[in-house]
Amino acid sequence: MLHTADWHVGRALRGRSRADEHRAVLAEIASIAADRKVDLILVTGDLFDSAAPGPESEAIVYDALLALARLEVPVVLVAGNHDHPQRLRAVRPLLELGGVHVGEVLRRPEEGGVLELELNGTPVAVATMPFLSQRSIVKADALMSASAEGHRAIYAERARRIVEELTAGMPADAIRILAGHLTVTGGVLGGGEREAHTVFEYEVPAEAFPASLHYVALGHLHRAQRIPAKAPIAYCGSPLQLDFGETLDVKSVSIVELGLRRPARVDVVPLRSGKRLRTIRASLDQLEALEGKYPDDFLQVIVETTPQPGLADRVRELLPQAVDVRIAPRRDLEEDEENTPRPDRSNLAPQALFEAYLDERGEEDPRLRHLFEELLEEADATAPA
Ligand SMILES: [Mn+2]
Residue 10 and residue 52: Cα distance in Å, rounded?
A: 10
Per-residue model confidence (pLDDT) at position 300: 94
Per-residue model confidence (pLDDT) at position 383: 64
Residue 377 and residue 116: Cα distance in Å, rounded?
A: 41
Å from CA of 221 to ligand 1 middle: 7
Residue 311 and residue 305: Cα distance in Å, rounded?
A: 10
pLDDT tens figures, 43-82 = 999 999 999 999 999 999 999 999 999 999 999 999 999 9
Give the count of alpha carbons within 13 A of 242, CB side only: 22
Å from CA of 218 to ligand 1 middle: 10
Residue 376 and residue 7: Cα distance in Å, rounded?
A: 26
Å from CA of 364 to ligand 1 middle: 33
Q: Quote the pTM value.
A: 0.82
Å from CA of 82 to ligand 1 middle: 6
Which pLDDT band, with edges at 50, 70 and 90, does 272 fall under? Answer: very high
Å from CA of 335 to ligand 1 middle: 33
Q: 178: which residues sit within 8 A by CB, 6+ positions away?
A: 126, 127, 129, 163, 166, 167, 209, 213, 215, 216, 217
Assess whether pLDDT exceeds 90 at residue 133. no
- Percent over 90 (pLDDT), the chain: 67
Between vectors from CA 377 to CA 375 and to CA 380, what angle results, nearest 5°?
110
Assess whether pLDDT exceeds 60 at residue 200. no
325-332, long-range: CB < 8 A, 24+ apart:
325/300, 325/301, 326/300, 326/301, 326/302, 327/302, 327/303, 328/281, 328/302, 328/303, 328/304
Assess whether pLDDT exceeds 80 at residue 334. no
Comparing 80-84, 126-130, 199-203, the range with the smallest average pLDDT is 199-203
Å from CA of 120 to ligand 1 middle: 32
Read off φ and ψ for residue 86, nearest 5 degrees. -70, -35
Å from CA of 226 to ligand 1 middle: 17
Run of H or E including 269: strand 262-270
Per-residue model confidence (pLDDT) at position 196: 39
Averaged pLDDT, 338-345: 67
Å from CA of 60 to ligand 1 middle: 19
Residue 205 and residue 258: Cα distance in Å, rounded?
A: 23
pLDDT tens figures, 248-265 = 889 999 999 999 999 999
Instruction: Render the burial of 70-108: b for 16+ CB within 10 Å, e for the rest.
Output: ebebbbbbbbbbbbbbebbeebbeebeeebbbbbbbbbe
> Are residues 16 and 323 in contact, defined by beta-carbon separation less than 8 angstroms?
yes
Residue 104 and residue 261: Cα distance in Å, rounded?
A: 31
> Are residues 341 and 320 in contact, defined by beta-carbon separation less than 8 angstroms?
no
Å from CA of 6 to ligand 1 middle: 7
Overall fold of domain 2-270: Purple Acid Phosphatase; chain A, domain 2 (3.60.21)
The length of the chain in residues reads 385
Q: How many CB atoms within 10 Å of residue 376?
A: 14
Per-residue model confidence (pLDDT) at position 155: 87
**Residue among 91, 90, 173, 92 at smallest CA distance from 128:** 92
The domain spans of the chain are 2-270, 276-340, 346-385
- When the pLDDT of each residue in the chain is averaged and rounded to a whole number, the result is 89
Å from CA of 251 to ligand 1 middle: 16
List the 322-327 sheet strands across, edge first.
Answer: 277-282, 298-303, 322-327
Assess whether pLDDT exceeds 50 at residue 13. yes
Å from CA of 231 to ligand 1 middle: 22
Averaged pLDDT, 178-182: 97
Å from CA of 219 to ligand 1 middle: 7
Residue 224 and residue 5: Cα distance in Å, rounded?
A: 10
Residue 103 and residue 92: Cα distance in Å, rounded?
A: 9
